[in-house]
Amino acid sequence: MLGALLALAYLTRLEGAVLGAASVAAAVAWLAATRRLAVGMRKAIPGVVLAALIVSPYVFYLHHALGRWALSGRVQAAAQAETSRLRP
């Protein structure tokens, strides 16, 4: 369930990727501290697969639209607009 929520957060705003990374780091740290890392990783597999299924259409769309792999189209669109504004 957490994987789906983090994937939807990423699709809403690019900062969702930062939230996802922070959540994963916190979960791994907690599981390592409680010595349940192996069990926690096995239980996380369905969430990771679900997140990948939710996010992959957008990532493949960006690859098709931009011609290269990217995490967000907003950053590239902003950079392109800035570049076109600076041209004489």
Give the confidence band of 6 by pLDDT, cuts at 50, 70, 90.
very high
Residue 65: per-residue pLDDT:
84
DSSP state, residue 72? -
**What are the tens digits of pLDDT across the range 58-69?**
999 988 888 888
Angle of CA points 19, 53, 71, to nearest 5°: 50
Cβ atoms of 51 and 6 closer than 8 Å: yes
